[in-house]
Amino acid sequence: MFNIEEFDIKLDTDFIGRNFIYSDEVDSTNSLLLTKKDFNIDGTVLLAEFQRSGRGRKNRTWISNAGQNLTFSILLINEIKENKANHINLGASLAVAQALENLYQLNVELKWPNDVLISKKKISGILIESSSKGSKINRLVVGIGINVNQPNFPGKFEIQPTSIRKEFKSTVSREKLLSEILNNFEIIYYQLKKNATKILNDWRNRCKLIGEKIKIVEEDKILNGVFEDIDEDGFLLLKVGNKIEKIYFGDVSLR
């Protein structure tokens, strides 16, 4: 059982998570916050103990044992420009990384666009979705799944999953972890509004693939090149021969 009081004591935000909805079971926390217009408070966080159809990037599924992990979404309803959504995407993975470093001293690696890895295994994934009014995004949902206390991961995966319990060798408080992530996320969100440089640099410092030969797979297209950098909008810059290509989507792996 998630202890809301324990979570609330540690929450130190102005608006992120101040409206907190706890649910036993939903289809997907992202889908609910995106489609149900009754949810209209900026910063609302919806946490579910179980998702019947948790979703990942590229129509993949996100499978997570009931009651052991964190599957939640954050609703942002201020007007957000398209390129800012990408900043928030990177910022969310940074907020998770910082929480894992601060609370458990884990060595975290970030993989473009928004996977959080430990020892090359996936501990957290993020799915950002939005709805627009005219040319502006008016609802942005940041969905975060973290493997917290799940002891094992049977099955086949594109990237092998792991959990905090497996890496830290102990079960941990989901309440403390969630409040830490939301606290970090709000600071990052405010920083991004002013100037994204620091956040982009913090992200770069945790990305071990910059400078490496990588392969990008997007649907049936494969691109080989060197991971040059991310640009000021957070898109990947791939050096192919002596040309730089900007990559907006795709799965990155070492060549």
Contacts (Cβ under 8 Å, ≥6 apart) of 113: 86, 89, 90, 93, 234, 236, 249
Q: Is it true that the peptide bond before 113 is cis, omega within 30 degrees of 0?
A: yes
Please state the closest distance from residue 108 (CB atom) to ligand BTN, in A: 15
**57 binding ligand BTN? (CB under 6 A):** yes
For the CA atoms of the chain, what is the radius of gyration? 18
252 in contact with ligand BTN (CB under 6 A)? no
First CA to last CA distance, the chain: 43
Do the beta carbons of residue 48 and residue 68 sit within 8 Å?
no
Q: Is 20 in the site for ligand BTN (CB under 6 A)?
A: no
Crossing angle of helices 174-194 and 197-205, in 10° steps, is 130
69 lies in the site for ligand BTN, by CB under 6 A: no
Stretch that binds ligand BTN, among 13-21, 47-55, 197-205, 209-217 (CB under 6 A): 47-55
Q: Collapse the DSSP code of 75 into the 3-class scheme (helix H, G, I; strand E, B; otherwise coil) and give the result.
A: strand
Query: What is the smallest separation between the CB atom of 64 and ligand BTN, expressed in angstroms?
Result: 7
Nearer to ligand BTN, 125 or 250 (CB): 125
Binding mask 175-214 for ligand BTN (x = CB under 6 A): ----------------------------------------
The footprint of ligand BTN (CB under 6 A) covers 28-30, 51, 54-57, 60, 62, 71-73, 125-127, 143-145
